């Protein structure tokens, strides 16, 4: 079982567009509830007829605020709907299934009001959940907004939150090798040179240029376009190991990190559910070279169809990793003739051959038919909070280990999708097959102490988590200590 990196900008677009049929997913929720898992669909895909209703007012004057934007999120911070108040300051956030939700008011940039979450919170780290039942209106979810402090400005806010350590940058230009013309909207990935792990990314403008602020260190840079051009690493190198290092020094911009991208050929196919035969949306399709390096990517649409970015001539293996609304499906690799046409080990995957650059995509599987089908698994979910404030902690890394002590996705670290807690402190793993797992909560430089599940200090002592074949394993929570405080045991006298 592995997980893969995917173009995050594409993920955001795919998650917020086009609704996937919910019949099979509703059945999965019913199964979870029958097992005692009273949880909202963790993929944020379920839609219903529940409504959150309320009014937005000025906290000082009580006057209603018309035409201001509200958003509703799941506990995992999936955006489900966005509406404005009417002329009388009243709003209705509809399309909701039974569950708990977070309501956020998002004033316009030039608005005199501050952003706020229902329950008089400035941050989703400490939220007041709104209970909704399908087919019913949850009324009186009213929010009174405070005005911005006098003299507040965007420039001042940006300056206050900018990390002082991010005082270097990488810049360059991405062009087409055959025409020399700039390539707009190409994604530039920056990875740590020492281990190939993803650090950050940027995007080219209309003129093909980009600038990425970053910490001083040594990196490798990958250029990934959309469309008929193939990705490549700096300096015109085909693989991560061969890519030239890019050194960033404090207070300086490392310039002219350019890429001239060759034309390639795209790969086409379709993915469906093994249980229902229905198409699966939101599956990242990653194209791996035989050297295990990712060279292109794509995602399935509402019809389950995918068309990857272009890959140069060569031999490849396709990896499928569900995300977003399809997050309960298991990741797999394409293997023609195997059960579901998939396997769990990349080395066993069918080699897909891409010839010289062509505008005609390589078809994997029968035209009009499916390339492969995916089974469902189980998601582990929970919330990470501060021992001192009890607020949710955002950005805590979640590492899942199987019974053999292997980290899920560990073999593909340079292509791993990072699992982190959301602004609410909640997290969800990738879908897992039945088995025994252990969870590590990595606090990094957050100022909190890392821990294995159940406050254990080592992988060997970590409390095992048993996972069934399908469903949700909820409430695998963690409370992390702040390293700046000493926590003494309570002694009863």
Instruction: Give 456-486 as a DSSP string.
Output: BSSTTTSPPEEE-SSEEE----EEEPBTTS-
Q: pLDDT tens, 323-365?
A: 888 999 999 999 999 999 999 999 999 999 999 999 999 999 9
Quick one: 290 and 317 in the same domain?
A: yes
Half-sphere exposure in the Cβ direction for 433 (13 Å, CA): 11
Q: Alpha-carbon distance 323 to 286, whole Å?
A: 13
Residue 342 in any domain: the answer is yes
Domain's final residue, options 261, 285, 318: 261
Residues 482-491 pLDDT 10s: 987 555 444 3
* Per-residue model confidence (pLDDT) at position 294: 81
Statement to judge: residues 268 and 253 lie in one domain: no
pLDDT (mean) for 431-436: 95
Residue 191 has pLDDT above 50, yes or no: yes
pLDDT-based confidence at residue 241 (cuts at 50, 70, 90): confident
What pLDDT, on the 0 to 100 scale, is given for residue 41? 66
Residue 217 is part of a domain; what is its CATH number? Answer: 2.60.40.10
Same domain, 273 and 366: yes
Measured CA to CA, the distance from residue 387 to residue 23 in angstroms comes to 40
Considering the domain architecture, whether residues 133 and 47 belong to the same structural domain is answered as yes
Q: Does residue 100 lie in a domain region?
A: yes
Domain end: 114, 130, 145, which one?
A: 145
Instruction: Give the SS3 label for residue 304.
Output: coil
Residues 288, 336, single domain; the answer is yes
Q: Is residue 6 part of a domain?
A: no
**Do β-strands 116-117 and 137-138 pair in parallel, antiparallel, or remain unpaired?**
unpaired
The answer to whether residue 491 sits within a structural domain is no
pLDDT over 50 at 15, yes or no: no
In the predicted model, what is the mean pLDDT of residues 71-77?
94
Q: Which residues of 471-491 are buried (b: 16+ CB within 10 A; e: fewer)?
A: bbbbebbbbbbbeeeeeeeee
Residue 457 lies in a domain: yes
Q: pLDDT grade, residue 150 (50/70/90)?
A: confident
Dihedral sign computed on CA atoms, order 450, 452, 457, 460: negative
Q: Could you tell me the pTM of the whole model?
A: 0.76
Q: Domain limits at 110?
A: 39-145
> Is the Cα torsion angle 426, 427, 428, 434 positive or negative in sign?
negative
Above 80 in pLDDT, residue 193? yes
Q: Residue 132 in contact with residue 101, Cβ under 8 Å? A: yes
pLDDT at position 445: 86
The DSSP H or E segment spanning 306 is strand 305-307
Q: Are residues 357 and 334 in the same domain?
A: yes
Q: How confident is the model at residue 408 (pLDDT cuts 50, 70, 90)?
A: confident
Q: Is 75 a domain residue?
A: yes
Asked whether the predicted pLDDT for residue 293 surpasses 50, the reply is yes
pLDDT of amino acid 2: 36
| Count of other CB atoms within 10 angstroms of residue 254 | 19
Query: Are residues 465 and 392 both part of a single domain?
Result: yes
Would you say residue 61 has pLDDT above 70? yes
Per the structure, the count of domains in the chain is 4
Name residues whose C-beta falls within 8 Å of residue 319's C-beta, 6 or more positions apart in sequence: 2, 4, 285, 286, 287, 288, 331, 332, 333, 334, 346, 349
In a domain? residue 18: no
Tokens at residue 4, please? Answer: 């893969």
Domain boundary among 325, 349, 374: 374
Say which range, 13-17, 149-153, 469-473, has the weakest mean pLDDT. Answer: 13-17
Same domain, 311 and 253: no
Q: Do residue 338 and residue 404 come from a single domain?
A: no
Q: Are residues 55 and 88 in the same domain?
A: yes
Summary mean pLDDT of the chain: 85
Q: Are residues 335 and 358 in the same domain?
A: yes
Same domain, 244 and 288: no
Q: Is the pLDDT of residue 436 over 90?
A: yes
Residue 322 lies in a domain: yes
């Amino acid at each position: 079982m592995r997980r893969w990196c995917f173009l995050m900008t594409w993920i955001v677009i795919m998650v917020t567009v086009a609704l996937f049929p919910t019949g099979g997913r509703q059945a999965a929720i019913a199964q979870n509830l029958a097992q005692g898992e009273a949880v909202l669909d963790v993929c944020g895909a379920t839609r219903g007829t529940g409504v959150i209703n309320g009014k937005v007012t000025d906290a000082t004057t009580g006057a209603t605020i018309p035409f201001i934007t509200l958003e509703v999120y799941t506990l995992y911070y999936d955006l489900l709907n966005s509406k404005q108040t009417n002329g009388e300051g009243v709003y209705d956030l509809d399309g909701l299934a039974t569950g708990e939700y977070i309501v956020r008011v998002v004033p316009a940039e030039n608005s005199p009001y501050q952003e706020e979450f229902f329950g008089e919170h400035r941050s989703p780290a400490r939220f007041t959940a709104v209970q909704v039942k399908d087919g019913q209106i949850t009324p009186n979810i009213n929010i009174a907004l405070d005005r911005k402090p006098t003299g507040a400005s965007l420039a001042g806010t940006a300056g206050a939150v900018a990390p002082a350590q991010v005082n270097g940058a990488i810049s360059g230009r991405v062009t087409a090798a055959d025409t020399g013309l700039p390539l707009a909207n190409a994604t530039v990935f920056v990875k740590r040179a020492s281990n190939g792990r993803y650090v950050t990314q940027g995007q080219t403008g209309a003129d093909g240029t980009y600038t990425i602020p970053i910490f001083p260190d040594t990196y490798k840079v990958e250029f990934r376009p959309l469309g008929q051009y193939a990705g490549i690493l700096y300096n015109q190198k085909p693989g991560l190991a061969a890519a030239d290092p890019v050194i960033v020094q404090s207070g300086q911009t490392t310039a002219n990190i350019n890429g001239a991208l060759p034309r390639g050929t795209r790969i086409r196919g379709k993915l469906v559910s093994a249980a229902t035969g229905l198409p699966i949306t939101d599956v990242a399709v990653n194209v791996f070279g035989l050297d295990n390096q990712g060279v292109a990517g794509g995602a399935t649409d509402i019809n389950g169809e995918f068309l990857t970015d272009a890959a140069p001539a060569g031999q490849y293996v396709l990896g499928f990793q569900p995300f977003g609304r399809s997050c309960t499906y298991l990741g797999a690799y394409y293997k023609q003739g195997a059960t579901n046409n998939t396997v769990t080990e990349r080395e066993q995957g069918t080699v897909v051959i891409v010839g010289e650059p062509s505008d005609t995509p390589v078809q994997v599987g029968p035209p009009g038919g499916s390339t492969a089908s995916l089974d469902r698994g189980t998601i582990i979910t929970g919330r990470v909070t501060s021992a001192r404030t009890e607020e949710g902690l955002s950005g805590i890394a979640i590492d899942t280990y199987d019974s053999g002590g292997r980290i899920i996705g560990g073999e593909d670290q340079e292509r791993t999708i990072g699992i982190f807690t959301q602004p609410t402190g909640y997290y969800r793993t990738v879908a897992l097959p039945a088995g025994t797992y252990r969870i590590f909560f990595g606090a990094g430089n957050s100022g909190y102490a890392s821990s294995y599940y159940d406050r254990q200090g080592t992988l060997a002592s970590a409390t095992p988590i048993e996972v069934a074949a399908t469903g949700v394993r909820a409430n695998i929570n963690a409370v992390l200590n702040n390293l700046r405080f000493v926590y003494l045991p309570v002694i009863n006298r």
